[in-house]
Amino acid sequence: MHEQIIALKGGGCSIAETARLAGVSVSQVKRVWAQNQAKVKIGYLGEGAPKTASEYMGDY
């Protein structure tokens, strides 16, 4: 079900349309989409990425 929500929402469907097509509530779509976006954001940072601005900027 999560994969279907991600596919529909990622494909451009609105939250309400995704909920209707997936047969779930709007709140569930919001929750699954937010969790997915958090995972994507963490994935973009990757291992070894700076965790703070000072780590990123160094002694600038």
- In order along its 60 residues, the chain shows pLDDT tens digits of 889 999 999 999 999 999 999 999 999 999 999 999 888 877 765 665 555 545 444 554
What confidence score (pLDDT) does residue 42 get? 74
What confidence score (pLDDT) does residue 27 get? 98
State the amino acid at position 39 in one-letter form.
K
Q: 16-43: buried (b, 16+ CB within 10 Å) or exposed (e) per residue?
A: eebbeebebeeebbeebbeebeeeeeee
> Mapped to the 3 state alphabet, what secondary structure does 2-38 carry?
HHHHHHHHHCCCCHHHHHHHHCCCHHHHHHHHHHHHH
What confidence score (pLDDT) does residue 48 get? 58
Backbone CA torsion sign across 1, 7, 16, 28: positive
